[in-house]
């Protein structure tokens, strides 16, 4: 198969985070209309915070509930972190939804406003640090929309039964109150997020900003779980741990199956498969073009890998592939993406990475693979294999090419040059436009 034909099969799509278009990390570098919108929402949030701070006294029970919700949110996020990272990376210009509402909406129902705000910001700070480091202003903006959503829910609760909030009335009136509060919470957050997406992506179809109905059902489910969590905290606080275990089991089982069904993960290595890697790479490249930022691509091929399959069998080869994949995954940053293109060939995407740093990363990876000692299973028992090496081709936008096809071809040709000149080495693509 020719290089050009192979490249024709590698199609990418632009990446967005939380539905925003790929832009610079600094808020002040956003388009004026986006900057104004974000600052207006945050200014309104500041007014709400100043007007509500200190209006409600805080009790020991409030601190206990705050602690339970904060710990529950942290455990939930850590247990589902890898899944949520893939879901967030895979967002295609639509609102990114999650189950955080299970904890934040419960806080809105039960906690004094200052504590509910603290819970929201702590939850999103933890998410920003552990799931995917999007520009900080985006996480702050999302948290502020939830603060305004929580304020709307609080107004509804206070209007339906004055003097009860924080909390909600019992009986049928309580059902009406939490449903109305949930609708207010959802509508304000959803409207503000959709507005940001539409302003950030003016050329995209409006239906992209609106998102999918199935995603809004997830939001509804998370708010329902928030009501259940609040009810348990009021009556049987210990039962929240049981609810958390149940949610974790369902969350992981359902979403892992979803991603396998959508064929985004290579079953042998757990890495992104070729289709998903290419999809994400196109989005990254579009973002690099828009922001004039560098983008590194590495193509990696294991040397003489067929010898392992021929000598020890294909099961041993699969074990070796998985071990190499684990090494690659641990060597790169959280925002980098490692994929298996097929056979013993891998690709690594390095956003915001210069040509020099791309070459340094490739050399670190080459050394790590060369130092790998893998215990593989054979018909004669376990055998230690320490002879695996790799050849790596490195290319960087815009130094190695001005289009996506040029960048891919440059990395591919550099990898084959590394193999042709002795293997177990890194070759960086020359600067300038790649010739076919």
Q: What does the pLDDT profile of the chain (436 residues) look like in tens digits?
A: 444 444 444 433 333 333 444 444 566 777 788 888 889 999 999 998 887 766 667 889 999 999 999 999 999 888 877 666 666 655 545 566 677 888 999 999 999 988 999 999 999 898 888 876 567 888 888 899 999 999 999 999 989 988 778 888 888 998 999 999 999 999 999 999 888 888 876 655 555 566 667 677 878 888 998 999 999 988 888 888 888 888 877 766 655 555 554 557 787 888 888 888 888 888 889 888 888 899 999 999 999 998 888 888 888 888 899 999 999 999 998 889 999 998 899 999 999 999 999 999 999 999 999 999 988 877 777 888 888 999 999 999 999 988 878 888 899 999 999 999 999 999 999 876 544 4
Angle ∠(313,314,318) on CA atoms, nearest 5: 130
Query: What integer pLDDT is reported at residue 385 of this predicted model?
Result: 87
Q: Is the pTM of this model over 0.85?
A: no
Provide the CA 217 distance to its chain's centre, in angstroms: 20
Query: What integer pLDDT is reported at residue 13 of this predicted model?
Result: 32
- CA–CA separation, 43 and 83 (whole Å): 33
- CA–CA separation, 65 and 54 (whole Å): 18
108 in Cβ contact with 177 (< 8 Å): no
Query: What integer pLDDT is reported at residue 167 of this predicted model?
Result: 83
> Where are the chain's structural domains?
22-262, 274-428
- CATH number belonging to domain 274-428: 3.30.70.270
Query: Is 84 exposed, middle or buried, given 0-12, 13-18 or 19+ CB atoms closer than 10 A?
Result: buried
Stretch (H or E) spanning 316: helix 314-331
Phi/psi for 317 (5° steps) reads -60, -40
CA neighbor of 375 nearest in space, from 332, 423, 322 = 322
Phi/psi for 302 (5° steps) reads -75, 135
- Token pair of 354 as six digits: 């210069």
CA neighbor of 362 nearest in space, from 309, 428, 290 = 428
């Amino acid at each position: 198969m020719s290089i050009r034909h192979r490249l024709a099969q590698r199609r990418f799509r632009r990446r967005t985070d939380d539905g925003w278009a790929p832009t610079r990390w600094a808020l002040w570098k956003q388009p004026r209309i986006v900057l104004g919108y974000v600052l207006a929402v945050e200014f309104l949030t500041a007014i709400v915070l100043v007007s509500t701070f200190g209006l409600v006294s805080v009790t020991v029970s409030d601190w206990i509930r705050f602690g339970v919700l904060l710990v529950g949110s942290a455990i939930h996020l850590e247990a589902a972190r890898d899944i949520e990272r893939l879901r967030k990376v895979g967002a295609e210009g639509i609102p990114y939804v999650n189950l955080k509402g299970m904890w934040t909406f419960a806080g809105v129902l039960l906690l004094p406003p200052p504590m509910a705000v603290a819970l929201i910001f702590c939850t999103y700070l933890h998410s920003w640090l552990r799931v995917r480091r999007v520009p900080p202003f985006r996480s702050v903006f999302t948290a502020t929309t939830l603060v305004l959503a929580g304020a709307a829910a609080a107004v509804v609760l206070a209007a339906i039964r004055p003097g009860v909030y924080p909390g909600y009335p019992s009986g049928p009136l309580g059902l009406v109150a939490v449903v109305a509060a949930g609708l207010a919470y959802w509508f304000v957050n959803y409207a503000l997020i959709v507005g940001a997406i539409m302003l950030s992506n003016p050329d995209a179809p409006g239906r992209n900003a609106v998102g999918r109905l199935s995603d809004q059902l997830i939001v509804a489910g998370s708010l329902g779980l928030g009501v259940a969590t609040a009810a348990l905290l009021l009556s049987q606080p210990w039962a929240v741990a049981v609810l958390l275990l149940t949610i974790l089991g369902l969350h992981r089982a359902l979403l892992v199956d979803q991603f396998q069904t959508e064929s985004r993960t290579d079953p042998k290595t757990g890495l992104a498969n070729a289709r998903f890697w290419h999809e994400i790479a196109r989005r990254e490249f579009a973002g690099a073009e828009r922001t004039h930022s560098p983008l590194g691509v590495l193509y990696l091929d294991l040397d003489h890998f067929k010898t392992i399959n021929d000598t020890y069998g294909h099961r041993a080869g699969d074990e070796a592939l998985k071990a190499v994949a684990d090494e690659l995954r641990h060597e790169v940053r959280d925002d980098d993406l490692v994929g298996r293109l097929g056979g013993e060939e891998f690709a690594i995407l390095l956003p915001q990475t210069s040509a020099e740093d791309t070459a340094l990363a490739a050399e670190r990876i080459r050394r790590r693979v060369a130092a790998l000692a893998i215990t593989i299973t054979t018909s004669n028992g376990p055998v230690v294999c320490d002879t695996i090496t790799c050849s790596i081709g490195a290319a960087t936008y815009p130094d190695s090419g001005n289009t996506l096809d040029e960048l891919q071809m440059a990395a591919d040709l550099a990898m084959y040059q590394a193999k042709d000149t002795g293997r177990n080495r890194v070759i960086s693509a020359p600067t300038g436009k790649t010739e076919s």
